[in-house]
Amino acid sequence: MADAASIKNAGEIVRSDKTRKYVVVSAPGKRFKNDVKITDLLYDAFRVRNDGNAFFAAFTKIKTRFDEIAAGLGLRRDFTDVYDEIERNIKASETPDYAASRGEFLSALITAEYLGFAFIDAKDIVAFGENGAFEPEKTDAAASAVLRKNEYAVIPGFYGADKETRIITFSRGGSDITGSIIARAAKADIYENWTDVDGFLTADPRIVKNPRLIERLSYKELRELSYMGASVLHHEAIFPVKREGIPINVRNSFDKTKPGTMIVPFSEYEATDRVVTGIAGKKGYSVIHIEKSLLNNEVGFVRRVLSVLEEYKISFEHMPTGIDTMSIVLADGEFKIPRGELLEKISEAVAPDTITVSDGLSLIAVVGHGMARKIGTAATICAALSDAGVNIKMIDQGSSELNIIVAVDTADYEKAINAVYAAFIDKSA
């Protein structure tokens, strides 16, 4: 949706099949390497909303971009009144959510005009509670009622509203979630997610040369891979469609001949000989190491540690434990208070013998339902990393045997992913 040509291409996809009735759009992205996404321009406009000259310059860039798209599509509609209302509301906003959502809003207005479809504002159907939490059942009821009245429609992704009509956004990439919401409300046969890649790959192509395409994976595998860095689809996008068992088809809008990746319920998952479906990872983690003699005999130890994290609204990724040790893996961005203060609070809560922090770690997830059927998967991972000269800082396997996560020094991150890929994916070719 970056420019008029992209919207024309999307229009060809929609018009080629009359069963494609509801279109969810994102904000215009980059047109070229050093371009700026519309959402980022809107965040910039919000930041300078109280500076007249700076705001004028920032908002002019946004208007110019959308005017160019509309002109390229041959639209005659004058959006001046719409721009004026957006400008007033951004200046009056206390949070950036309204500003950030206007990229999707304007993109949907233009696309609806171009396709001749109805425009449905997401604020009227996507509901959030007072605490900013998404309300799925209220949303499904509202969306279903509106969709029944509109055979063809365009809906902006990424945002909704609370009962006071305040705009609230999902996290970045949230248009994927909106698409899933609309698919559920429409009782769709399939949710097609058209993007700029062929589908999900078995590893990051920036790290592994020519990784294989994943033709089919389950909802659970998708969530694990997406959460751990495979950014093709938002990791929360499965939940609305999962309730109805609606498959997701991720496809390349610039190569319509490719079938893409099918994401299906486990009941429709076709067992194969593959052990590992995909490998994904993230950089930027630290581990808090807590050691205390007889920790295993101390009732409430873990609860007290976690209560400190809860007090400061800190989420943790993993929590491996030993008989006298406990480790907490945190994304570096989760240190919401000074590190020394956090360690002091934990020390006050549990009086450990020692408490330290290890920095500069990356997590790598090896994901696949096939691991539950194959003996020695963890041993293969460890051997592959050992042969590559990579030291494992932590290993954690979920009880479902769907994934194994290892922590390595960030300096070894790329080497580790290539080693695991060679051990599983290359050998299965």
The domain locations on the chain are 4-188, 192-270, 278-428
CA distances in angstroms from 293 to 289, 345, 354, 355, 417, listed in the order given = 13, 19, 10, 13, 36
Residue 347, token pair as written in the block: 């020390």
Domain 4-188 belongs to what topology? Carbamate kinase (3.40.1160)
pLDDT at res. 80: 95
Phi, psi of 23 (to 5 degrees): -115, 125
- φ, ψ (nearest 5 deg) of residue 325: -135, 155
Instruction: Please report the pLDDT score of residue 270 as a whole number.
Output: 64
User: From first to last of its 429 residues, what are the pLDDT tens digits of the chain?
Assistant: 889 999 999 999 999 999 999 999 999 999 988 999 999 999 999 999 999 999 999 999 999 999 999 999 999 899 999 999 999 999 999 999 999 999 999 999 999 999 999 999 999 999 999 888 999 999 999 999 999 999 999 999 999 999 999 999 999 889 999 999 999 999 999 999 998 888 999 999 999 999 999 998 888 888 888 888 777 888 889 899 998 999 999 999 988 888 999 998 876 666 666 888 999 999 999 999 999 999 988 999 999 999 999 998 999 988 888 899 999 999 988 887 888 899 999 999 999 999 999 899 999 999 988 887 788 888 999 999 999 999 998 888 876 678 899 999 999 999 999 999 999 987 655
Please give the pLDDT value at position 308.
Answer: 94
Please determine whether the domains at 192-270 and 278-428 fall in the same fold group of CATH.
no
pLDDT at 397: 80
How far apart are alpha carbons 123 and 165 in whole angstroms? 7
**What predicted TM-score, i.e. pTM, was given to this entire model?**
0.85
pLDDT value, residue 399: 67
Residue with tokens 């950014």: 231
Reply yes or no on domain 278-428 having CATH 3.20.190.10.
Answer: no
82 Cα distance to chain centroid: 30
Model pLDDT, residue 372: 79
How far is residue 416's CA from residue 265's CA, in Å, rounded to a whole number?
A: 30
Q: Taking the CB of residue 161, how many other CB atoms lie within 10 A of it? A: 20
What pLDDT, on a 0 to 100 scale, did the predictor assign at position 50? 94
- Confidence at residue 247, expressed as pLDDT on a 0 to 100 scale: 94
Contact, 195 vs 252, CB < 8 A? yes
For residue 108, what are the CA distances in angstroms to 40, 122, 147, 156?
18, 10, 16, 5
Q: What is the CATH number of domain 192-270?
A: 3.40.1160.10
